[in-house]
């Protein structure tokens, strides 16, 4: 009888260990899915009694209270109110001034600068701009970026410059940067808008420098214009598939051009014109055509789906 109880006890312990391991894994996956891979903003209660309400309004119903130095997670921010979540999972709205908001720290990217056909004087100037570019492109995760600045020297093109900012691309990083996925056929480029903005600011710095130091520019007397400097934002995958993005500054804001250039193994470089309704253009979301033609054959547009990892 005792041997039977011992065997039963051992089996019970094994089952409990397996269940505990499963719960820990499930909890970790749940936390990761809830944050979308981006570190959460935290808050610490500064007053002795914090009222947490159902809606962001002082007249809203009180749900519960929190004591001083209670730590919470900030789920949403709306004006003077923040939606918080306690360690036990309770949620509600609190008045922001009564909380000490602790935001996750960002890190500066590691940017490698490659110069081609650039004089040492201009190269020194570009190196001096790198710290400012790093500050503009800081993020929650470590990044390794590559910036190429080149000038053409062949006859008739001395005034043409090229700027390329390469960003490593992965499906996982794409989802983390957005916090959630988008529907099939929609490419959300909003996470990369700040990279375009930083690249175009870098271009304007070059224009300003060439205006002040024309002897470092082309051999001709024709001044360099914005159209003479091609800027590309390249999303590069591990297998060297590349998505080329271009755009422009619209006042203080950057916007992508309404086309994509993509180079993928097994495909010729192709130009894809996106359908951009007015309500979508403001958010820089490119609505792509279906990956199959009318007769059921797969089209080359499917290359974009492959790049972003959309199922179809």
CA dist list (Å): 88 to 71, 104, 234: 11, 21, 43
What values do phi and psi take at 142, rounded to 5? -60, 140
CB burial string 101-137: b at 16+ within 10 A, e below: eeeeeeeebebebebeebeeebeebbeebeeebbebb
pLDDT at 25: 37
> How far apart are alpha carbons 54 and 60 in whole angstroms?
6
pLDDT at 103: 86
Dihedral angle over CA of 163, 168, 171, 172, nearest 10:
-130
Burial group, residue 178, by CB count within 10 angstroms (0-12, 13-18, 19+): middle
Neighbours of 306 (CB within 10 A): 17
Q: Which CATH class is domain 41-102?
A: mainly beta
Task: Find the angle CA(37)-CA(41)-CA(47) to the nearest 5 degrees.
Answer: 155
pLDDT at 214: 67
What is the radius of gyration, based on Cα positions, of the chain?
27
Burial group, residue 181, by CB count within 10 angstroms (0-12, 13-18, 19+): middle
Helix pair angle (193-212, 120-136), 10° resolution: 150
> How far apart are alpha carbons 1 and 154 in whole angstroms?
94
pLDDT at 191: 81
Domain boundaries, the chain: 41-102, 110-308
Q: Which two tokens stand for residue 12?
A: 């019970």
Tens of pLDDT, residue by residue, the chain (312 residues): 455 555 555 555 554 554 444 444 333 333 333 334 567 889 999 999 999 999 999 999 999 999 999 999 998 888 899 999 999 999 999 999 999 999 888 899 999 999 988 888 888 988 999 999 999 898 887 889 999 998 876 545 556 888 999 999 887 777 766 655 556 667 778 888 889 999 999 999 888 888 887 665 554 445 677 778 889 999 998 888 888 888 888 888 888 887 777 777 666 677 777 776 666 666 677 777 777 777 877 777 777 777 887 765
- 8 Å CB contact between 144 and 109: yes
- 8 Å CB contact between 36 and 176: yes
């Amino acid at each position: 009888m005792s041997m039977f109880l011992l065997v039963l006890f051992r089996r019970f312990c094994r089952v409990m260990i397996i269940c505990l391991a499963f719960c820990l894994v499930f909890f970790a996956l749940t936390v990761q899915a809830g944050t979308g891979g981006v570190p959460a903003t935290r808050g610490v209660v500064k007053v002795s009694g914090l009222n947490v309400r159902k809606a962001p309004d002082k007249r809203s119903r009180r749900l519960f209270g929190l004591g001083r130095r209670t730590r919470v997670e900030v789920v949403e921010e709306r004006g003077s109110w923040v939606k918080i979540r306690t360690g036990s999972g309770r949620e509600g709205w609190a008045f922001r001034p009564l909380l000490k908001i602790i935001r996750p720290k960002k890190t500066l990217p590691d940017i490698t600068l490659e110069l081609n056909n650039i004089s040492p004087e201009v190269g020194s100037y570009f190196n001096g701009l790198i710290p400012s570019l790093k500050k503009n492109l800081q993020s929650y995760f470590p990044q390794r970026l590559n910036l190429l600045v080149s000038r053409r020297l062949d006859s008739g093109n001395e005034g043409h410059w090229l700027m390329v900012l390469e960003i490593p691309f992965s499906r996982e990083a794409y989802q983390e940067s957005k916090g959630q996925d988008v529907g099939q056929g929609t490419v959300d480029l909003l996470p990369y808008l700040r990279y375009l903005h930083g690249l175009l600011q870098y271009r304007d710095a070059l224009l300003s420098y060439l205006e002040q130091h024309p002897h470092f520019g082309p051999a001709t007397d024709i001044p360099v214009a914005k159209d003479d400097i091609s800027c590309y934002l390249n999303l590069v995958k591990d297998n060297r598939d590349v998505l080329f993005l271009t755009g422009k500054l619209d006042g203080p804001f950057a916007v992508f051009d309404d086309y994509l250039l993509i180079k993928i193994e097994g495909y010729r470089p192709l130009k894809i014109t996106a359908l951009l309704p007015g309500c979508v253009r403001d958010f820089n979301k490119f609505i792509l055509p279906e990956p199959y033609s009318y007769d059921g054959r797969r089209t080359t547009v499917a290359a974009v789906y492959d790049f972003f990892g959309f199922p179809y």
